[in-house]
């Protein structure tokens, strides 16, 4: 079927969604009824609905064997190339990679566009139309970029303790200490390691501690079975929390404290610990107004500030950075 003329395709920004469909003709009939209008373009290998109200572009791709569900991609169509440049610049300046295509022939039209994937690997097409053409052109989006690898440094209980973490300032996404607190490490050297972790982490970077702790001081030298035989020292369960606070980490969160792996030796209850802390993230300089949304009536942070549900509280940029980076970030509204 020949393409019909497109009306008003470059006068407004429109949301765009592309779907895989098992039977193109059947889907065109369904969406014609749903949307109250026929397809703007309808070929054997492609169909498109272009609506002003709601401002929507719906593209259908016959793909009866397509794995991964109905969604092909989503996108935004802008009225001109200047809008594309603004959006792409904003993403690239935030460190989010994009793939640009200039004047490509796609979907029976000539377009300039770029592609970007969100954190959950949903593919977005950001584009503007130049003109219609009479052939399909290149219909397939590029292969999604692989997610950027996180830079993580790890120390294990069996590793020598370094005086310096071998990474530049603010270059790591994460630091993991696997059993480090269960080694015979002088307190000054352990404090230095945590200071090094703070130095090497990016703003908002995460420090994770995994090990064995007790509910009271352990008498004598531990002689534990299995993998726990490597344990030379058992800190009290409150010690790691204090170490991270003194090293400048915030938003501290116990992913695990006991749960299943819990047993008693020499009268001490031993628990598996997974504790996370965050280096303050980038935040506006100066005070920040935030509001706790719930679910509790009130909570407090390490600095002693109390957040009551629904009440605005002004905190320092450092505290706001902790809250933004931590696992409870969605419980707060950042108002400035």
Longest dimension (CA), the chain: 86
Q: In CATH, what number does 152-278 get? A: 3.40.50.150
User: Structurally, what CATH architecture does the domain formed by 288-334 represent?
Assistant: 3-Layer(aba) Sandwich (3.40)
Query: Could you list the pLDDT tens digit for every one of the 336 residues in the chain?
Result: 333 334 344 567 888 888 888 888 888 887 887 777 888 888 887 888 888 877 888 888 787 655 456 777 788 888 877 888 888 888 887 777 887 776 565 655 566 788 887 766 778 888 887 666 554 444 455 555 555 667 899 998 888 889 999 999 999 999 999 889 998 889 999 999 999 999 999 988 999 999 889 888 888 888 876 667 788 888 998 899 999 999 998 888 888 887 555 677 888 888 888 899 988 876 445 688 889 998 889 888 777 789 998 899 988 877 787 777 677 888 888 886
Domains 14-132 and 288-334 share a fold: no
Phi-psi region of 287 (alpha: psi -120 to 50; beta: other; left: phi over 0): beta
CA distance 302 to 94: 30
C-alpha distances in angstroms, 322 versus 201, 280, 287?
A: 14, 5, 13
Q: In CATH, what number does 14-132 get? A: 3.10.180.10
Among residues 61, 217, 31, 49, which one has the least CA distance to residue 139?
Answer: 61
Sign of the C-alpha dihedral computed for residues 279, 285, 286 and 288 taken in this order: negative
CA distance 273 to 192: 21
What is the per-residue pLDDT for 60? 84
DSSP helix/strand/coil, 244: helix
What is the per-residue pLDDT for 229? 74
Q: Where are the domains of the chain?
A: 14-132, 152-278, 288-334
The 8-class DSSP code of residue 178 comes to E
What is the per-residue pLDDT for 137? 45
Among residues 11, 41, 7, which one has the least CA distance to residue 135?
Answer: 41
Q: How many of the other CB atoms lie within 10 Å of CB of 322? A: 28
237-248 in b/e form (b: 16+ CB < 10 A) is bebbbebbeebb
């Amino acid at each position: 079927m020949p393409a019909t003329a497109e009306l008003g395709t470059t006068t407004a920004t429109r949301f765009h969604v592309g779907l895989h469909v098992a039977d193109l003709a059947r889907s065109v009939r369904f969406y014609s009824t749903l949307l109250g209008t026929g397809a703007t373009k309808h070929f054997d290998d492609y169909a498109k609905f272009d609506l002003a109200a709601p401002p929507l572009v719906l593209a259908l791709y016959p793909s009866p064997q397509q794995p991964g569900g109905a969604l092909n991609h989503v996108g935004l169509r802008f009225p001109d190339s200047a809008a594309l440049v603004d959006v792409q610049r904003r993403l690239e300046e935030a460190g989010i990679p994009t793939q640009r295509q200039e004047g490509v022939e796609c979907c029976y039209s000539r377009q300039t566009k770029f592609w970007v994937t969100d954190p959950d690997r949903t593919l977005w097409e950001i584009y503007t139309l130049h003109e219609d053409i009479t052939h399909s052109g290149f219909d397939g989006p590029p292969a999604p970029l692989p997610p950027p690898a996180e830079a993580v440094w790890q120390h294990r209980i069996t590793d020598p303790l370094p005086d310096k973490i071998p990474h530049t300032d603010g270059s790591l996404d994460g630091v993991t200490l696997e059993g480090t607190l269960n080694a015979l490490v002088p307190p000054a050297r352990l404090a230095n390691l945590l200071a090094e972790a703070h130095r090497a982490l990016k703003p908002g970077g995460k420090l994770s501690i995994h090990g064995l702790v007790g509910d009271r001081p352990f008498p004598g030298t531990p002689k534990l079975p299995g993998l726990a035989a490597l344990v030379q020292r058992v800190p009290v369960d409150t010690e790691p929390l204090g170490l991270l606070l003194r090293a400048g980490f915030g938003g501290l969160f116990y992913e695990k404290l006991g749960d299943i792996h819990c047993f008693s030796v020499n009268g001490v209850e031993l628990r598996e610990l997974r504790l996370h802390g965050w280096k303050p993230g980038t935040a506006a300089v100066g005070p920040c107004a935030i509001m706790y949304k719930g679910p509790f009536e009130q909570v407090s942070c390490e600095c002693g500030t109390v957040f009551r549900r629904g009440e605005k509280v002004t905190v320092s940029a450092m505290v706001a950075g902790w809250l933004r980076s931590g696992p409870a970030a969605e419980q707060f509204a950042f108002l400035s």
